Each structure stands twice: as structure tokens, then as C-alpha cells.
Amino acid sequence: MRVLRTLRDLHAWSDAERLAGRRIALVPTMGALHAGHAALAAEARRRVDSVCVSIFVNPSQFDVRADLEAYPRTWEADLARCRAEGVAAVFAPEAEELYPAGHATWVEVQGLSEPLCGRSRPGHFRGVATVVAKLLAAARPHVALFGEKDFQQLAVIRRLARDLAFDVEVVGVPTLREPDGLALSSRNVHLGPGTRPQATALVRALDAAEAALAAGERRAAALLERVRHEIAKAPDAALDYAELRDPETLQPAGLLLSGATLLALAVRFPREGAEPGAAVRLIDNRVLQPQPPTEERT
């Protein structure tokens, strides 16, 4: 497995793989790799010949410097996991490599970047879109894989790839979960013994909405009330948002659900061992699929 530190090295590796007739997949990450990232690499290996994992804690997508500094960094463990997953190359640049002195060019995907996480994290998706555009341009992968847990990010990147004419297939991989249902996330390490069990409120809220929908409830307000009720059972949870949106455009859903609808959640919990007020922000989502009334199905 090769470790690449510069864009020139990544260009050369990609050119050599393509010249040899091998298909390339890119798995962009910020490190602190877990089983969810391993699932991305495994799906990538299933689709192509050579997999490149990027490990870069992107400073431009953090709106709070403390969050950037607190982001877990587990370099040796990350390399070991990549080797175990059969990764061909790891791209791990310094910040100056992707953001050289005088950097003044940014990529923004309008419309999809403003709601949900974009509302509470201004500038976040500009940072995501910019770094992903750089990675796609440098690695020239045939396939790029992202987790569906970050649903809004996936929507932004799909639009970016289409609008900027990147010759790449953007693939979403289903969310991997802990045995108790909590979505795997590098941020979970910041949950303490008191808040870790409470974090399952997110998946319980998704389950409650889906169960109500299956029982015939289609009113958006009623479904969101079920969600808020479940989140409120966690005493340390602070709801950032719970919203129903169109899965492709991220426009707000109507008063009654009539087709596939994204239920997106963001919840904050106190961060273990941090100063008072510091929080761990967890996200989760599910695409709800309303069924037609019984008589229509018949």
C-alpha cells in the first residue's frame, strides 16, 4: 500500500493505474476510520481494481476551531485498517498542499447547501465541496463512495459532480450501525458513559416515525411530533433540527407525505471531558416510503 503526500504523487499514481487499465475508486475520509469506512472500502473493492482512501481533516469545513482541534486523529490505526481492507493507496496531504498560500478559489453548490446542516454550520458545505472537487480532479477516479449517513453531503457531491462534469460515478453506501442502532461516526468517541446510551434517541426517533407512517399517519406535523417526543426522552439531548425534505432537491416536504421523503435529524449532546457548553453533534436520517392506501394498492 502506497502513502501519497502530494497532489503530484496522487496524479502520478492515478495515471499509472489508468495506463495499466485498472479502474480506480476514491473513498474520501477525515481519518479516525471505523467499520463504516471499512464498508466503503469493501464496496469500492467490489466495484473497481484499485482503491484510494484519502485521509485529510479538512479545515475549511469546520466553522468552530475547537471542533477542528478536537477531531480525532488516529493515523497509525487508520493505516492498519486501510491495509487490512486491501486499499492500494492512501492520500494524506498537509493542509498547505490543498490550500496553498494565496488560495482564493471555492466551490459552492447553491440550494442544496443552505438547509439542514448548512443552516447551523455556515460555510461547511463550501469547504466540503471545495475539497472534494480538488480530490476528484487530482485522483480522477471512476467511482467515488460516500456514506448515506451524511445524506446532505452526498446530495451536494452528486450535484457538484454533475454540474462540473466530473467523469465519476458517485455512490452512496448505506449507514452502518452499532448493535444498539446508533449510526457509526468518528464523533461517537466524544460521548461519555452518561450520554452514549441516550444517543440512541436518534434511531428510536427514526423508527417511531417509520412505524407511524406504516400505521397510516401521513401528516408531516404529526410525524415530526413523534420524532421530537423520542428525542425529548434523552435528558441531555438538544435537538438542532428534525425535518422532512425531498430526497433529491432537499426542498421541504408537503403537509402530507405522498412519496419518498427524507427525515433528517441533528442532535447535540454534551462532549465528554470538555469545557461546559461543548457539544457532540450527531446526525442521522432515513428515507421514508409512504405506501398508497389499501384500496389504491388493491
Q: Which residues pair with 245 in a beta bridge?
A: 252, 262
> Given 11, 34, 37, 142, which residue is catalytic?
37
Residues 6+ apart with CB under 8 A from 207: 181
Residue for grid cell 411530533:
225
The answer to whether 267 and 281 are in contact (CB under 8 A) is yes
Orientation of helix 124-139 relative to helix 7-19, angle to 10°? 50
- Picking from 198, 212, 168, 173, the residue whose alpha carbon sits closest to that of residue 35 is 173
- Picking from 127, 59, 57, 49, the residue whose alpha carbon sits closest to that of residue 89 is 49
Alpha helices in the chain (DSSP H): 7-19, 35-47, 65-70, 75-84, 95-98, 117-120, 124-139, 151-163, 201-214, 220-232, 294-297
Strands 24-29 and 143-147, sheet pairing? parallel
Based on the residue annotation, tell me whether 37 is a catalytic residue of this protein: yes
- Active site amino acids: 37
